[in-house]
């Protein structure tokens, strides 16, 4: 069957169309995305403004039309931290449903972490052993650990690259004092969770998903996306520690010239790098592997697992 998964994230609204069947690998058929950066559109009260809601509705209309054009039998619409934590989330969701008919399901942070973990587990298989999965989004950082398809521990922290950039890095390039303050903030937040994970033992394999980690791996020398999904891409803590001070003195425009870094994400890359560096350091990770699958694939896989008659 042809499925569409409509992901309303903190940075983008992304429709992924796949041909999916139980027991088979979902095959991507079409991708439609628009950058809205909802995490940066919140007003001083933490609400999404009227202009932001109008832009979101127009973008959702375009995505639903694209899903129809591509012959999707079903569309799975969900939203993550930007809408989940907006002060006017209920009003936004009600307006979206009234205008577009889309019943947008809001995932909790823990659900995000668990679904992303499922995708990573299916990608790497049982032979990967105990997995530690890290995912930096626009609004939050998800961390999950376990040996089965459902992780033993799954947490979500408000450490997304877009959120942190908007709140704590106003300069371009940012002031050194702001960078240090953000570094302290990120490490204090992550350190609160490390003990719970450490009590479960060392992971056998550490993997990361998300555009932020993919871009960091690319500027550190990993293969281009054009070389395919099956090329192994790694990111070492040593390389990351070398890049963080370089990114800190660059403007967003300068970062956008780096390999694999898009103009729309370049402003957020430093904050994402600080989160990645802190997570790898505090969890004692010397090197991790980039996983091509993430939350969207997790949503699709869970849907396939619950098809009637299976």
pLDDT of residue 308: 58
Q: Do both 93 and 113 map to the same domain? A: no
Which one of 64, 80, 106 terminates a domain?
106
**Pair 192, 79 in one domain:** no
Q: Are residues 45 and 119 in the same domain?
A: no
Instruction: Provide the whole-model pTM.
Output: 0.94
Q: What is the CATH number of the domain that holds 231?
A: 3.30.420.150
101 and 114 inside one domain: no
Q: Burial code of 190-205, b = ≥16 C-beta within 10 A, e = fewer? A: beebeeebeeeeebeb
In a domain, 252, yes or no: yes
Q: Are residues 25 and 43 in the same domain?
A: yes
**Whole-angstrom distance, CA of residue 261 vs CA of residue 269:** 8
**pLDDT 10s digits, 93-137:** 999 999 999 999 999 999 999 999 999 999 999 999 999 999 999
> Is residue 307 in a domain?
no
Q: pLDDT per residue over 13-68, tens digit each?
A: 999 999 988 888 889 999 999 988 887 777 788 899 888 899 999 999 999 999 99
- Structural domain total, the chain: 2
Shared domain for 287 and 143, answered yes or no, is yes
Strand partners, 209: 135
Both 137 and 280 in one domain: the answer is yes
Does a structural domain hold residue 305?
no
> What CATH number did the domain enclosing 86 receive?
3.30.420.40
Angstrom distance (rounded) from CA 19 to CA 71: 10
How far is the C-alpha of 183 from the C-alpha of 177, rounded, in Å? Answer: 10
* Residue 303 belongs to a domain: no
pLDDT digits (tens, 9 = 90+) for 189-234: 999 999 999 999 999 999 999 999 999 999 999 999 889 889 999 9
Same domain flag for 102 and 114: no
Q: What pLDDT shows up at residue 202?
A: 95
From the list 131, 169, 135, the residue with the least C-alpha distance to 153 is 131
- Position 309 confidence tier, pLDDT thresholds 50, 70, 90: very low
Is there a domain that residue 310 lies in? no
Final residue before a domain boundary, out of 106, 134, 152: 106
Same domain, 66 and 10: yes
77 in the same domain as 120: no
Does residue 281 share a domain with residue 238? yes
Structural domain for 21, as ranges? 2-106
Give alpha helix (H) positions in the chain: 50-69, 81-84, 89-100, 109-124, 161-168, 176-198, 211-219, 237-248, 252-255, 269-282, 295-305
Q: What is the chain's mean pLDDT, rounded?
A: 94
Mean pLDDT of the region 276-280: 98
Same domain, 281 and 172: yes
Backbone φ/ψ region at 124: left (φ over 0), alpha (ψ -120 to 50), beta? alpha
End-to-end CA distance of the chain: 15
**Domain-terminating residue out of 52, 77, 106:** 106
């Amino acid at each position: 069957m042809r499925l569409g998964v409509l992901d309303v994230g903190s940075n983008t609204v992304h429709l992924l169309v796949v041909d999916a069947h139980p027991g088979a690998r979902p095959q991507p058929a079409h991708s439609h995305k628009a950058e809205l950066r909802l995490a940066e559109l919140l007003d001083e009260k933490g609400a999404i403004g009227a202009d932001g809601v109008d832009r979101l509705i127009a973008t959702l209309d375009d995505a639903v039309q694209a899903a129809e054009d591509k012959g999707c039998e079903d569309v799975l619409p969900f939203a993550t931290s930007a809408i989940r934590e907006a002060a006017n989330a209920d009003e936004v969701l009600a307006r979206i449903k009234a205008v577009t008919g889309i019943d947008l399901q809001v995932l909790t942070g823990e659900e995000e972490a668990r679904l992303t973990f499922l995708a990573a587990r299916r990608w790497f298989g049982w032979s990967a052993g105990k997995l530690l999965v890290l995912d930096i989004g626009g609004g939050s950082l998800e961390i999950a650990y376990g040996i089965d398809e459902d992780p033993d521990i799954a947490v979500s922290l408000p450490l997304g690259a877009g959120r942190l950039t908007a709140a704590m890095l106003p300069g371009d390039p940012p002031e050194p004092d702001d960078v240090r303050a953000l570094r302290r903030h990120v490490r204090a937040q992550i350190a609160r969770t490390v003990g719970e994970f450490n009590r479960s033992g060392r992971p056998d394999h550490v993997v990361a998903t998300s555009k932020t980690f993919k871009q960091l791996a690319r500027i550190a020398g990993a293969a281009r996306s054009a070389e395919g999904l099956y090329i192994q891409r790694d990111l070492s803590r040593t390389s990351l520690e070398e890049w963080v001070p370089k990114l800190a003195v660059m403007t967003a425009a300068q970062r956008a010239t780096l390999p694999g870094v898009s103009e729309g994400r370049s402003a957020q890359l430093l904050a994402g790098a600080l989160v990645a560096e802190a997570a790898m350091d505090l969890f004692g990770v010397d090197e991790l592997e980039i996983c091509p699958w993430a939350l969207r694939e997790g949503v699709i896989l869970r849907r396939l697992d619950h098809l009637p008659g299976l």
